[in-house]
Amino acid sequence: MSDIREIARRKNGRSTFRQTHQNADGREVYLYSHSNKLRSPSGAALNREAQSSELRWHPLRQEWNVYAAARQNRTYKPGAAADPLAPMIAGGPATEVPFEDFDVAVFENRFPAFSASTKTVSHPHVRTEPAEGACEVVVYCPDAEGSLGTLSDARRALLVEAWIDRYKAHFESGLEYVLPFENRGDEVGVTLHHPHGQIYAFDRTPEPQAKALAAFRDGFDLAADLERWRTDYWVAEAGGVVQFAPPFARFPYETWIASRRRRRGPWEFDDEEIESFSHLLGAATRRYDAFFNRPTPYMLTLQAAPRTAGAAYQFTAQFYPILRSPDRLKFLASVEQATGIFTVDVVPETAAAALRSVSDE
């Protein structure tokens, strides 16, 4: 069964609708659109794989890591005919999205690292806990090729609305931290090139985000710093939202996107900020591709407040390109992996100036 409902209505009169469909294996698929047309499935989707995951405690690093052996069998660089993120044509092979057309689709990952059904486990040699949470795949478009930079402004705004809806759903389920992200490029380890991202939702706040929350609660004011950084670190601005290279960036050409006003997450954006944020997501991707003269491999994370954070947080979308020049990768080698201390080859103010000089068209 499928149902459709309006989840957002903007001042420009545009509404966002979500259609919910449950696959035969119990996993749900969410279709997001600016149209209230109810789509009919064209077949049965791929089935959920066996799940096996747990958290194990690292006593020297004082951290939890997730062990998910079933992910070893996840889809690896399929041919075009076997694209699991493609629309499903009636009579054709099964895919993850059992509809002949869609705009933006979100579904529960077949190979999750975290899930609501994980079991309590024990191990004779290390502390363990259930790997509770959720893992979802976000498909940006039905086309097999493209990027955030090639989507229309309306499609990127729809993607932002989908992210907002998933933040709200996971928070309402009691999960504490939600991280939408995208990995782009073979160099980052991408195994499916259909334009997509993912969402991980955790039952606890990961340590880096917990430290960020503590910094904001102790008085760090990113919005005020943004104004002081305007001359040297801003790359682009649209409607009160800024792309900038933070002066403490760890990757060459790392940039962030944030509102000039404190917003805990995109769910607090007004209509103009949603449009501006979605525009800058595309502009940033196009700017990177023009600067490096190639599709830029990067990691993108949306860093929003934890569910119980209160007002003290500033949302950022953070791009980590892993190139330091068109033909040179930024490797995280021994010292950086062992100590967490990064060696940055391009200072952020130089990176900001270089990126500003490149068109995002």
Report how far residue 243's alpha carbon sits from residue 29's, in angstroms, rounded to the nearest whole number. 32
Q: CB of 59 within 8 A of CB of 49?
A: no
What distances in angstroms separate CA 354 from CA 82, 91, 319, one per listed residue? 40, 51, 16
Q: Angle at Cα 353 formed by Cα 349 and Cα 355, nearest 5°?
A: 115
DSSP lists the bridge partners of residue 107 as 29, 137
Catalytic residue among 170, 194, 196, 279: 196
Report how far residue 61's alpha carbon sits from residue 245's, in angstroms, rounded to the nearest whole number. 30
Dihedral sign of CA atoms 101, 106, 108, 113 in order: positive
DSSP lists the bridge partners of residue 258 as 242
Q: CB of 158 within 8 A of CB of 104?
A: yes
Report how far residue 154's alpha carbon sits from residue 126's, in angstroms, rounded to the nearest whole number. 49
Tokens standing for 242? 């800024």
Helix (H) or strand (E) holding 184: strand 177-184
194 is catalytic: no
Alpha-helix runs per DSSP H in 173-270 = 207-217, 222-228, 230-233
Dihedral sign of CA atoms 267, 273, 274, 278 in order: negative
Helix (H) or strand (E) holding 177: strand 177-184
Q: CB of 260 within 8 A of CB of 148?
A: no
CA terminus-to-terminus distance, the chain: 42
Report how far residue 96's alpha carbon sits from residue 334's, in angstroms, rounded to the nearest whole number. 38
Q: CB of 96 within 8 A of CB of 107?
A: yes
Catalytic center residues: 196
